Amino acid sequence: MKKKSHSSVFFFFFRFIIAFTIIQFCTADCDNLQDTCPASPPTKEAIFINGLPCENPTNKSGHDFKSMELSKPGTRDASGSSNKIVTATKFPGLNTLGLSIGRSDIEVDGLVNLHNHPRATEMIFVREGVLVAVFLDTKNTPFQKLLKAGDVFVIPKGLFHFFLNRGAQVATLFSVFNSQNPGLESLASVPSDATLESVENIKTKLISLFDSQVDGVHDFSSAVLDIFYG
């Protein structure tokens, strides 16, 4: 009887370890189990899975691994920026690779509003222009840098951030996210019915803040949040 009891405990413990390992493994985008898996969106969503089903291997081609989605800017919003995030739904070759890509174009004195990506770290590359990039950590400590063409900047996963064009031309940046679906949350989004005056007021205050001696501001994070929420 004792042997049977020990066997049962061992079996239960073994199953628990396997289950725990799977849970830990899936807290991030799961690794690919084959060379490639271009997405094949289902014609009828009868089953929902964590990702997209794979294309028939015999139908794969180089076309699946090229995208023109970021070749042109999108429509500008009230803050003077256009933002695109391209995932495997529009770029099949990204499926199961744990990646997505993006593009932002910001007009002079334009702003990409305070937001975060809950499932991904974002790495940006500035193609042209001059901009200030700022992110806040979980202690509301700000990390800000003036970026120019050719610069690369990293925003850690889930942290709120924004970009402000400080140059004399449109600023263009490209992003890479280490998640197939990075997500987007915004606590300071400008409503679609916002007046031009209210948007310009936010941008003017931010520009004034960065034109001042930022190191002399007692609580820079509070000053930024007050501008967005005040």
> Using an 8 Å Cβ cutoff, are 120 and 100 in contact?
yes
Using CA atoms, how far residue 168 sits from 27, 131, 162, 171, in Å, is 43, 10, 19, 9
Nearest partner of 103 among 127, 120, 119, judged by Cα: 127
Using CA atoms, how far residue 190 sits from 41, 69, 77, 132, 175, in Å, is 33, 25, 9, 19, 22
Binding residues for Mn(2+): 115, 117, 122, 161
Binding residues for oxalate: 117, 122
Binding residues: 115, 117, 122, 161
57/28 Cα distance (integer angstroms) = 25
CB atoms within 10 A of CB 5: 9
